[in-house]
Structure 1
Amino acid sequence: MLELAILGFLAEGPLHGYQLRHRIAQLSGHARPVSDGSLYPAINRLVNAGLLERRAEPGASAAQRHMLSLTDAGRRDLLRRLRDADGLDISDSTRYFTVLAFLSQLPAVADQHVVLRRRLQFLEQPASFFREGDRLLGVEDTDDPYRRGMLTIARATSRAERSWLREVLD
């Protein structure tokens, strides 16, 4: 998802590495901070693959700064990643929110809606954090207040998201 975030933010315009890191940190929040040790190798992979361009600019002091921008191949790859989002990109909330953050980059609303329908289909499947044999356990099935809290929050979040998705898709 780090590479998708890099491509997505650079689709909005060129950025210095520091600016890019800051935007990715804002997107992922405190749950998944991005380190230089993961960001810069990802940038290098994308540059080596011809998806990003890096050019040196004079810095405020003697040190040069590297401006990053998306190449045409990078834009095509971003659009492909968004259009093809499936599996964990749909079921994992953090990954899905990264897809959602850049979904408007897809020029065709129909393509955007295909991705949203995948998420809605996933959310409409019965789910629970806990099972007893083959049976999914619900809020009413547990005396543990913290598990009940998890289930209550998950149910409310899922209900709200399904409502929003149906509204957008109608």
Structure 2
Amino acid sequence: MLELAILGFLADGPLHGYQLRRLIAHLSGHTRPVSDGSLYPAINRLVKGGLLDRRTEPGTSAAQRHTVSLTAEGRTELLRRLRDPDELDISDSTRYFTILAFLSRLPDTADQHAVLRRRLEFLERPASFFHDGDRPLRAEDTDDPYRRGMLLIARATSQAERSWLREQLG
């Protein structure tokens, strides 16, 4: 998802590495911080793969600054990743939100809606953090207040998201 976030933010225009790291950190939040040790190797892979272009500019002090920008191949790859996300990109909320953050980049509404439909189909499958045999447990099935809280929060979040998805899909 780091590479998708890099491609997505660079679709808006060239950025310096520290600007990119800040944007990605805001998107992913405190749960998945972005370190220089993960960002710059990802940028290097994307440059090596021809998806990004890097140029050196003079800095405000003695240090040079590196600006990265999306190539035509990078834009094509961004659209491919948005159009056809992996199943984990659909089922994992944080990964899905990264997809959602850049989904408007897909020029075809039908492609956007296909991704939204996949997420809605995932959310409509019975699921739970806890099971009694093969049966998913509901909040009403447990006396544990913390597990009940997890289940209630997950249910409310899922209901809100399903409502929003149905609204978007018309």
Q: Which residue of 1 aligns with 2:53?
A: 53
Alignment of 1:149-164 (within 5 A): 149-164=149-164
Deviation at 1:146, TM superposition (A): 0.1
Q: Is the contact made by 1:53 and 1:71 (CA closer than 8 Å) also made in structure 2?
A: yes
Q: Does the 8 Å CA contact 1:50/1:71 hold for their aligned counterparts?
A: yes
Report the Cα distance in structure 1 between the residues aligned to 2:135 and 2:64, rounded to whole angstroms.
60
Is the CA contact 1:17–1:66 (under 8 Å) kept in the aligned structure 2? Answer: yes
SS in structure 2 at match of 1:117? helix
| Cα distance in structure 2, aligned partners of 1:71 and 1:61 | 28
How far the C-alpha of 1:85 sits from its partner, in A, is 1.0
Query: Once the 2 structures are TM-superposed, how far is the Cα of residue 86 of structure 1 from its aligned partner?
Result: 3.2
Instruction: Describe the SS at the equivalent of 2:156.
Output: helix
CA–CA distance in 2 between the matches of 1:161 and 1:135?
A: 23
For 2:29, the equivalent position in structure 1 comes to 29
Partner of 2:18: 18
Q: Distance in 2 between matches of 1:15 and 1:164?
A: 32
Partner of 2:97: 97
> In the TM superposition, what whole-angstrom CA distance separates every residue of 1:120-151 from its partner, at most 9, and x where no partner exists?
00000011100011111101110000000000
Percent of paired sites with the same residue? 80
The one-letter code sitting in structure 2 at the alignment partner of 1:161 is: E
Whether 1:110 and 2:110 are equivalent positions in the alignment is yes
Give the letter aligned to residue 146 of structure 2.
Y
Q: Structure 1 unaligned segments of length 5 or more: list them.
A: none
Question: Deviation digits for residues 52-94 of structure 1, max 9, x if unmatched?
Answer: 0000111001211011000000000000000001300000000
Contact 1:83 1:111 in 2 (8 A): yes
Give, as a single letter, the amino acid of the residue that structure 2 aligns with 1:157.
T
1:91-111 C-alpha deviation (Å, 9 max, x unpaired) = 000000000000001011110
Cα distance in 2, alignment partners of residues 163 and 32 from structure 1: 27
Give the letter aligned to residue 111 of structure 1: D
- The aligned counterpart of 1:66 is 66
Letter in 1 for 2:21: R
Q: Aligned residue pairs: how many? A: 170
* 8 Å contact kept, 1:86–1:118: no
Structure 2 unmatched runs, 5+: none
- Residue 62 of structure 1 aligns to a residue whose secondary structure is coil
Q: Distance in 2 between matches of 1:12 and 1:137?
A: 44
For the aligned residue pairs, the C-alpha RMSD in angstroms reads 0.5
User: 1:140-164: per-residue Cα shift (whole Å, max 9, x none)?
Assistant: 1100000000000000000000000
